[in-house]
Amino acid sequence: MASVPARDAYVALGSNLGDSQRTLSLAIDALGSLPSTAITARSRLYRTAPWGMHEQPDFINAVVRLHTALSPHQLLDALLMIEAAAGRVRDGERWGPRTLDLDLLHMDGVVLDDPALTLPHPRIRERAFVLAPLADVAPQLELPGQGRVAELLQRVDSAGCIALD
């Protein structure tokens, strides 16, 4: 593993198939078990309406802040492995139902745009289901090219994001 400085990373979690709350809990445990990684904050769980494709069950969403020495691509690979372990099948369908969706939203000090990964995630500012839980853990976080999380949340319709805990 390449030696990189430890930094904060923000990961969005979502699920709308099976026991979503249990799936997210297990995924959070798996994130905390990654090498050179610790969970430093966790949002509340939110019930949210589906985005993109509306004819599917509501999602349960959350965000965790990790402190990790993994590189962005190492962390992305780990997220994909955790999704697969939870039964996620990537069949090319966008915005459809899923057992688990993990998105790397941002890593402090990293701006990246390559075929595998764009950081910060390019659609954070459009998505209340990401911004509401992200605001729980980092309301003052400044996302390069997008703005401050708390201000971005004020600009979207978050009425459909219902905190569960």
Q: What is the pLDDT of residues 106-122, one digit of tens each?
A: 999 999 999 999 999 99
Residues of the chain above pLDDT 70, percent:
90
pLDDT at 106: 97
Strand partners, 24: none
pLDDT tens per residue, range 56-97: 789 999 999 999 999 999 999 999 999 988 886 766 555 567
Average pLDDT of the chain, as a whole number: 91
* Residue 98 annotated in active site: yes
The single residue of 65, 98, 125, 127 carrying the catalytic annotation is 98
- Active-site entry in 65, 88, 125, 127: 88
- Predicted confidence at residue 87, as pLDDT, reads 81
Known catalytic residue at 77: no
Q: Which of 47-56, 102-111, 116-125, 139-148 has the lowest mean pLDDT?
A: 47-56
- Choosing from 42, 101, 125, 136, the catalytic residue is 101
Can you read off the two tokens belonging to residue 17?
């198939």
Is the pLDDT confidence value at 1 over 60? Answer: no
Q: What is the CATH number of domain 7-163?
A: 3.30.70.560
Separation CA 105–CA 54 (nearest Å) = 23
CB 69 within 8 A of CB 36: yes
* pLDDT score, position 91: 62
The catalytically annotated residue of 44, 47, 58, 103 is: 103
Closest CA to 70 of 130, 24, 117: 117
Greater confidence (53 vs 130) lies with 130
pLDDT at 49: 85
- 88 included as an active-site residue: yes
